[in-house]
């Protein structure tokens, strides 16, 4: 690549405006994970990382992203305090930050908030972390402990029934691999097929 072309590519990249994004972080020592953070952009791309590990790229649905950004707008894009002064049991230190055009437009730090929209957004992100934990459990069992796949699926089913799973489409690839893997016991394959059907029915 010529020097001139390289410069043009760099200038083109710089000309692309930074997307608005919402950043969430929770620190809760003793929980699993003890710390995690998520960046969600307007186009649905997201980065998730926990306990200092390398970030994982995610693709979220349009309706999900719109809901998060709508709540952010109701909360003035986190430009006002959200922390409650009530004495309640700690559920971890949380940070919500809104960035637009590459600049921080608002940031709020809280453990508990009186604002229902703040609680809803925080709860969604916590559930996303739980969904990622189930995804990791399934992938590790699939690779290293195929006899443990069924138990991992039982844990996932229980979480799904308790409405602890969000963005379930993230689970579809691993569930599809499990359902089609003849070396995995039939019960686990059938369970994976059942979860896929539930997810796809919910998406329709």
Whole-number Å distance between alpha carbons of 163 and 148: 23
**3-state secondary structure at position 87:** coil
How many structural domains does the chain have?
Answer: 1
What integer pLDDT is reported at residue 121 of this predicted model? 97
Tens of pLDDT, residue by residue over 54-94, are 999 999 999 999 999 999 999 999 999 999 999 999 999 99
- Res 179 pLDDT > 90: yes
Tens of pLDDT, residue by residue over 185-196, are 999 999 999 999
| The pTM of the whole model exceeds 0.75 | yes
Range of the domain at 78: 3-203
CB atoms near residue 85 (< 10 Å): 7
Whole-number Å distance between alpha carbons of 82 and 74: 12
- Range with lowest mean pLDDT among 4-8, 91-95, 101-105: 4-8
Whole-number Å distance between alpha carbons of 44 and 169: 13
- Res 10 pLDDT > 90: no
Chain-wide mean pLDDT for the chain?
92
What integer pLDDT is reported at residue 16 of this predicted model? 53
CA angle 186, 188, 189 (to 5 degrees): 65
């Amino acid at each position: 690549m010529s020097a001139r072309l390289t410069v043009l590519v760099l200038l083109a990249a710089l000309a692309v405006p930074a997307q608005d994004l919402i950043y969430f972080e929770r620190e809760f020592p003793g929980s699993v994970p003890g710390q995690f953070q998520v960046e969600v952009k307007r186009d649905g791309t997201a980065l998730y990382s926990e306990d200092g590990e390398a970030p994982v790229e995610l693709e979220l649905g349009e309706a999900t992203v719109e809901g998060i950004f709508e709540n952010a707008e109701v909360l003035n894009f986190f430009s006002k305090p959200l922390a409650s002064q009530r004495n309640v049991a700690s559920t971890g230190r949380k940070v919500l930050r809104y960035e637009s055009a590459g600049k921080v437009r608002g940031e709020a730090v809280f453990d508990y908030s009186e604002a229902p929209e703040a609680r809803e957004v925080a709860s969604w992100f916590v559930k996303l972390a739980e969904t990622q934990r189930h995804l990791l459990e399934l992938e590790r069992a699939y690779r290293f402990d195929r006899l443990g796949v069924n138990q991992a699926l039982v844990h996932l089913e229980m979480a799904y029934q308790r409405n602890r799973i969000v963005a379930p489409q993230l689970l579809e690839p691993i569930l599809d691999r499990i359902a089609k893997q003849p070396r995995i016991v039939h019960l686990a394959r059938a369970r994976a097929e059942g979860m896929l059907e539930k997810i796809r029915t919910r998406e329709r």
